[in-house]
Amino acid sequence: MPSASVIIPLWNGAQWIRPCLTALVEQTEAAPFAAEVVVVDNGSTDSSPAIVENDFPTVRLITNGRNLGFAGACNIGLAAVTGDSLVLLNQDTRVQPGWLTALVSALQETGVGVAGSLALLDDGKTVQHAGGVVDWPLGIARHRGYGEPLHERWRESCPVQFVTGASLAMRREVLERVGPLDENFWPGYFEDVDFCWRSQEIGYSVVYTADSTLLHAESGSFTDSVYTAWARLRGRLRFCLKHLPAQDFLDKFLPAETTYQPTVLAGDHHGQIARAYLEAVPMLFAEWGMRGESAAQIGEAMAGLARLCPPLMAAQPTASAHSGSIPAPGKPLLAPSRLDRLPLLGTVRRAVHRLAIFYSERRQRELLGLIRQDRAYIQQLEAEVSRLQRALPD
């Protein structure tokens, strides 16, 4: 008799987690096999952990104390459970009758390593996900059926290239052979596609299971559009660096990305999205270095990523915004160097320095904000002390 474990990463999900767990627990308690539910909290600052702890006594709550991202929370949960079938579920979902049993049954089929669900939007009539395909060379992950009415085509189970991590089931043996989710996709996006890809590379199939249905509110954790665009671009770049042959990345991806870039950076007024191109440089070193790609290919890819990133906007001037070694906006970011005479090294050197400046200035703004908060707090304390002193008898 199979057993199942359901893992839900939680982050500030007070709006979602009660309906999610109410629907889920109804199924796990009635399942014809042993089933457990584990919620892994990623340092939530709202009431969502208390909701789990107080209202759902059969659900185990694991608290991380900080945000480890989707993959990090999932890996904590996967290491803590005992089921043969391991299921990842988003906090902003409501599973429908038969959801879990259908996933567990799909994993019993010969050769199947990963199974996913039919995800519908909140209206229950519109498809959000019916399995996924990846468009190369850009590595764009697309949900089959997205936005279409639910008709018979989407009620048929079939093999697919990937399934969404909003509802992803895997055999335990697949996890043991493939390894955990890649936490370098932090904060989220593409770790599910990557896991499905790695599973297929060692011979397992990935299937879309139409009888396993849920409602998905979509992006219940990522609500900022610019942040979401940055996370998606960062994840897609990492996925392409991991799974495209080096020469295809150079000859096909980089030219295609140059054409596609205006779509990627739409709404990016301060470089928050574009910085993902420079953040991909250390990923490039790690992934291609491990694969043994040539130094020439690594250098060419570095230069290509640097060219894709437009100049990052400097911080707005403040009273102390330009202390230390951070230059003011409009001033040179980097002292001249003989390395600049070499086109490749000069391009990469300037690009990486732009990224360092961007983060330094952002950190300065954060620190200034904290200082202002502390100053206001101290003033409140001083006022309270003065009030108490005045109230003391002479």
- Mean pLDDT in consecutive groups of 10 residues from the start of the chain, 394 residues: 94 95 96 96 94 96 91 96 97 97 97 98 95 97 96 96 98 97 91 98 98 86 74 96 97 96 83 85 91 91 86 47 40 47 56 58 57 62 65 64
State the pairing for strand pair 158-159/205-216: antiparallel
* Burial (Cβ within 10 Å: 0-12, 13-18, ≥19) of residue 312: buried
pLDDT of amino acid 326:
39
pLDDT of amino acid 315:
41
Q: Is the dihedral of CA 51, 53, 58, 64 positive or negative?
A: positive
Which residues touch 327 (CB under 8 Å, ≥6 apart)? 333, 357
pLDDT of amino acid 275:
84
Contact 334, 349 (CB under 8 A): yes
Characterize 259-294 residue by residue with b for buried, 16 or more Cβ atoms within 10 angstroms of its Cβ, and e for exposed: eebeebbeebeebbbbbbbbbbbebbeebbeeeebe
- Partner residues linked to 95 by β-bridges: 214
pLDDT of amino acid 321:
37
pLDDT of amino acid 130:
98
Query: Nearest 5°: phi and psi at 288?
Result: -75, -35
User: SS3 of 169, please?
Assistant: strand
User: SS3 of 258, please?
Assistant: helix
- Partner residues linked to 129 by β-bridges: 119
Query: Nearest 5°: phi and psi at 118?
Result: -85, 115
- The structure's pTM equals 0.80
Tokens of 231: 């996370």
Separation CA 86–CA 104 (nearest Å)? 9
Tokens of 314: 């400097």
Separation CA 186–CA 235 (nearest Å)? 8
The domains located in the chain, with CATH, are 3-216 (3.90.550.10), 225-371 (no CATH)
pLDDT of amino acid 384:
64
pLDDT of amino acid 343:
55
